Amino acid sequence: MMLKRYIEEGGPDKFDLVIVGGGITGAAVAYIAAARGLSVALFEKKDYGGATSAATSKLIHGGLRYLANGELKLVRESLRERRILGNIAPNFVYPLPFLMPMYRRWKGNIWKMLIGMYLYDMLSYDKKDTWDRSKKLQNHRLINHRKTIRVEPNLKMDDLRNSFYFFDYQSIFPERLTLAFIKSAAEYGACVSNYTPVEGFLYGEEKRITGVKVRDLFSGKTREVHAELIVNCGGTWADKILGMAVGSDQVTHRVKRSEGIHIITKKIAGHHVVSLQKADGGHMMIMPWREHSLIGTTDKEFLGDPDDYKVSMESIDEIINNVNTNFGRKISREDIVHAYGGLRPLVDDQTKGSYETSRKYEVYDNAVDGIEGMITVEGGKYTTSRSLAREVLRLISEKLQRTLSDQVSDNLYLSGCEIRDMKQFMIRQHLNYKDFSRNTVEYVSRNYGTESKVVFRIARDNRHYAEEVSHDGEILAEVVYAIQYESAMTLPDIMLRRTGTGTLGNPGRTITEKVASVAAQLLGWDDMRKEAEIASIKKVYDLY
């Protein structure tokens, strides 16, 4: 189906729910609510999944480090959701091995770590209950010094003893996985709209919120949309949305913000995650991604305005220093092909240190703040977004005094992900699309799933769109698909969140120009707008 913008297409002006925020939390709530029979409208002030949801480590994991805080319930929930996401989004989520080397000067108790590993396996007792047999995970194992070096020869060798080898999942394109939730919600009738900020609220008797005022950032068109209940999924901006509703001085819930930055370099480790302990006891990871190394993350409190946040050289240097201190292969600023960062929302009453802070979540009925007609979601992490959405639906059911239809989100594929056996699917794809390179078939098939047939059809109908524009085989047909089927409105939408042409750093003027020319033709940009869009994507890479 084609994803349409409600603010452009029109439609009803009364819904059961209006969801504010189109990150992974808002997307999951919209999907589950629509699938359970509620009428839903979702508004995102910029692009879907463009902020925190795009600044992840690209992992779907149980959260091994939360065991140190005794948070068994959170770890069990994360491990269950890890399995479910692997089932319902099989083309996006894959098993990934982790290597955690142990050193003689390791901070912590080796026996405590060993017990933690066994506990991690026990809490993921259902990890082999997967729809696709290739997604089954093995239990951890402790491997000796010699095998550790053989698995990862670039480790720092001084005082190396042995290592733990275990598995979690990787999400190959989190922005497209978030979009799959948005598209799934739309398939169930949700009205969704990016670049449509909420600029005010509507009120009824006794100052109860009864709707929102929204504006299309492109046309300037405004609209009033009514709802039985507003769901604030603003994430990092949740308290600012509350402030808009009642005045900043009356907001009792404050979002704590944690900065997370990643860098991407040429490949410096193997096809596994290397988890290294830092001097402060925290961990950093070197992860494989698109034949590069994704390294991160920082984890420190951010106290400024989230609208002013940007990646800092100080945080980039922090990652470089941690790699050079704790890994055998050194890197410098010149090795970085791209860096990105974002702010994670944490519940405000959690621990002082950002790394030690739990990634639990809270769902608040804002009636306690004197705001009837709104609930707010705070905290959480990408892996548990679907589970968080289920908790939100419980409160929604109470507030609306309605019995909702049965839950379906754990046993239905997401939009475009209807693939029972990935291995067989990929074999068929290679047989059906022999007129494309092997890299193109691999990349397009995994990132577009069952919708890849539309991308390939676009390329076959116009061979200009079959031109490859990245080292792993991306083609211009993806740009056409992003605009015609996925509500891409800007060049950063296309290059960073619909395709991967811009996610490995600046692809250069030639590739950017080719992508921008296709976008300009389909979106009707004049030369001035086209150059402005090229400047906006270039700004993403101006880190130094």
Asked if residue 351 has pLDDT above 50, the reply is no
Q: Are 96 and 169 in contact (CB under 8 A)?
A: yes
Tell me the C-alpha distance between 420 and 435, whole Å. Answer: 25
Tell me the C-alpha distance between 533 and 368, whole Å. Answer: 44
pLDDT of amino acid 190: 98
Structure token digits, residue 106:
């390791």
Return the exposure string of 67-81: e unless at least 16 CB atoms fall within 10 Å of the residue's CB, then b. beeebeebbbbbbbb
pLDDT of amino acid 109: 66
Residues of the chain with CATH 3.30.9.10: 88-171+256-347
| Beta bridge mates, 230 | 18, 374
Q: Are 217 and 47 in contact (CB under 8 A)?
A: no
CATH number of 88-171+256-347, picked from 3.40.228.10, 3.30.9.10, 1.10.10.10, 3.40.50.300: 3.30.9.10
Q: Considering the chain, what percentage of its residues have pLDDT values greater than 70?
A: 95
For 495, phi then psi, to 5°, come to -85, -20
Lowest mean pLDDT among 309-313, 357-361, 423-427: 357-361
Residues of the chain with CATH 3.50.50.60: 6-52+175-254+359-400
pLDDT of amino acid 250: 62
Provide the CATH topology of domain 6-52+175-254+359-400. FAD/NAD(P)-binding domain (3.50.50)
How does pLDDT run across 93-135, given as a tens digit for each residue?
A: 999 999 999 988 766 667 788 899 999 999 999 999 999 999 9
Residues of the chain with CATH 1.10.8.870: 422-540
How does pLDDT run across 18-32, given as a tens digit for each residue?
A: 999 999 999 999 999
pLDDT of amino acid 253: 64
How does pLDDT run across 27-49, given as a tens digit for each residue?
A: 999 999 999 999 999 999 999 99
| CA atoms within a 13 Å half-sphere pointing along the CA-CB vector of 254 | 14
Asked if residue 349 has pLDDT above 60, the reply is no
Return the exposure string of 184-212: e unless at least 16 CB atoms fall within 10 Å of the residue's CB, then b. bbbbbebbbbbbbbbeebbeeeeeebbbb
Average pLDDT, the chain: 92
Q: If you average pLDDT over residues 331-347, what whole number do you get? A: 91
Tell me the C-alpha distance between 64 and 172, whole Å. Answer: 20
pLDDT of amino acid 350: 45
- CATH architecture of the domain with residue range 422-540: Orthogonal Bundle (1.10)
